[in-house]
């Protein structure tokens, strides 16, 4: 598949992730009618993020691999599943997004982009549960590492065919259920960058963590998974074939 088409798929897919996941947090999480509350809360937001990945994996997985996440692309490169020459173009395509979500949200009377937080990530005072920098860093690194571990396992040649998007989507849902109180859940530098750039200020100041921690977690998983999953005999046969 041509690189341009793969990059277009990553751009569309990452937009869908930000629109569906962050959009659910901004537009629907706390929504309430005069009669009864209709907000989806953080359980609904968790499901929304998982569903965006699940649906888009079936839609563009055969085109671009449906990374939608710079940390995933880095981890797959480390694991030998993705060519290093395509890494930077993928990351650039993934980072673009969030503009339409800002436009929709800002059309609501009384909505203030900065005051709302716009589903941005943070630690300390910007953490939903006021978790420290150290807690946020460990949470993001560990959660991203396990996310990539599941991706590598679900897409392995010996894994059941056709079920990878379900496992990956449910994994991302679980990650959000656990870590929304800690950092508002990133595990994805692209997902963090879009909202942070719109909010500015402290959101941008803390953005470094949501690049470094997920990438570290992904790199560790990219190194560990092949050591666990690939037999020495299989590696020897691969070398012989090469």
CATH number at residue 47: 1.20.1080.10
Whole-number pLDDT of residue 42 = 87
One DSSP character per residue, 109-136 reads TT--HHHH-TT---SGGGSTT---HHHH
For the segment 131-142, the average pLDDT, to the nearest whole number, is 98
Q: 239 in a domain, yes or no? A: no
As for how many domains the chain has, the answer is: 1
Host domain of residue 125 = 3-234
Q: 123 in a domain, yes or no? A: yes
Measured CA to CA, the distance from residue 25 to residue 197 in angstroms comes to 17
Q: 242 in a domain, yes or no? A: no
Q: 178 in a domain, yes or no? A: yes
Q: 241 in a domain, yes or no? A: no
Q: Where does the pLDDT of residue 41 fall: very low under 50, low under 70, confident under 90, or very high at 90 and above? A: confident
Whole-number pLDDT of residue 147 = 98
For the segment 143-171, the average pLDDT, to the nearest whole number, is 95
Q: 226 in a domain, yes or no? A: yes
pLDDT > 50? residue 238: no
Q: How much is the pTM?
A: 0.88
pLDDT > 50? residue 237: no
């Amino acid at each position: 598949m041509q690189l341009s088409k793969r990059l277009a798929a990553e751009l569309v897919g990452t937009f869908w992730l930000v629109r569906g996941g962050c959009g659910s947090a901004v537009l629907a999480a706390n929504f309430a009618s005069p009669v009864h509350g209709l907000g989806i809360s953080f359980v609904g937001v968790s499901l929304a993020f998982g569903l965006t990945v699940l649906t888009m994996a079936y839609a563009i997985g055969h085109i671009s691999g449906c990374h939608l996440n710079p940390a995933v692309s880095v981890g797959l490169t480390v694991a030998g599943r993705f060519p290093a020459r395509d890494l930077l173009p993928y990351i650039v395509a993934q980072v673009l997004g969030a503009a339409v979500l800002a436009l929709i949200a800002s059309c609501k009377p009384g909505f203030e982009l900065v005051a709302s937080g716009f589903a941005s990530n943070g630690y300390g005072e910007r953490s939903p549960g006021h978790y420290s920098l150290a807690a946020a860093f460990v949470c993001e690194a560990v959660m991203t590492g396990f996310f990539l571990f599941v991706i590598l396992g679900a897409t392995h040649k010996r894994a059941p065919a056709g079920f990878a998007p379900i496992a990956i989507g449910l994994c991302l849902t679980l990650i959000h259920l656990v870590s929304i109180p800690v950092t508002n859940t990133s595990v994805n530098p692209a997902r963090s960058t879009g909202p942070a750039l719109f909010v500015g200020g402290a959101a941008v100041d803390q953005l470094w963590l949501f690049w470094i921690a997920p990438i570290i977690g992904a790199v560790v998983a990219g190194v560990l998974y092949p050591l666990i999953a690939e037999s020495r005999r299989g590696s020897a046969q691969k070398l012989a074939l090469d």
